[in-house]
Structure 1
């Protein structure tokens, strides 16, 4: 007769209600949701009254590499451990909507949720401001994130912000 099978954290074996473990008997281990079994799932009671293998263990499940269309994550890992952080970047011509960073949570989820990369719209030429000169040429293509700084003609003073930025939705930030 074998002693009761070893208890494992965050898991259980198939004969929880048994009190006799006879030679030849097999018990199967399973893990709670959010955990993965490491090692052999089954052990046998041997004729020597011992269990055939070391007990398995249950480890918290990590996260798969998050997918982001039209973008990428930093690092090359395919699996991440609990509380690992990834940073997201979008391809040229796309803007990040959501958080730039996300952390692996219990159960294989990411928090905050994985962002999206949305196509950016080009901006029209920057507005003409009387008695001021923009830092960019009017023939340039203006894409998200580009800035234009105005300088006043001699004898004129700047009121408000000197720079405008092209936004992801294709307009200029307010002066």
Structure 2
């Protein structure tokens, strides 16, 4: 493998010009190019000089079978980070063009729009904004799609509003029954209506059937137990009478023997 460093401002290409090799990598002003080459492919990496940022793909490949670069040539534009933009909003910065490293901007949306994201961002050393640049969106949510075999009720789709879903007869709701519009987005996924199968209906009825059977068995058991108690009570009464009769007979015999 061979590698080299080429400042594109000088536009000094070191790739061999041959029909069986990739063409020289395309030049990019205000950048430093790092190139490597093997028998199979070539790779170039573009790095913009200080005060410029890259727009486009940073690395380009050239397969030596096709002999063409895989992506369009990037460009280096003035400013350490891309100029911040906020549609339907305003931003505040000490200087907007060109953007310098560590510069901080703040954001504010126009009337009727809600800021989605951070209200500030800083230009980083890697030429990116952090936190990411926000957006200004309307507080209204999009009209949800009516679930198949179901419907929903809603007053409106403004931020804070709720919608409630219902399914047709023979279908059951799978998912959240009620959703709320929160800063332009619904609080949950739109539910679906799923057909209720006969097996599911039987399964739902099974607990009721089991409860009824249990109650019936308990009542029957109590009835049988009540009958058993009555029989036992009657038997005890008979034995009591028999004992009293026997006791009376024995008392009479004792009296007669004493004379």
Q: TM-score of the superposition, structure 1-length normalised?
A: 0.40
Larger RCO, structures 1/2 (Cα 8 Å, 6+ apart): 1
**For the pair shown, which has the larger CA radius of gyration, 1 or 2?**
2
Structure with the higher helix share, 1 or 2 = 2
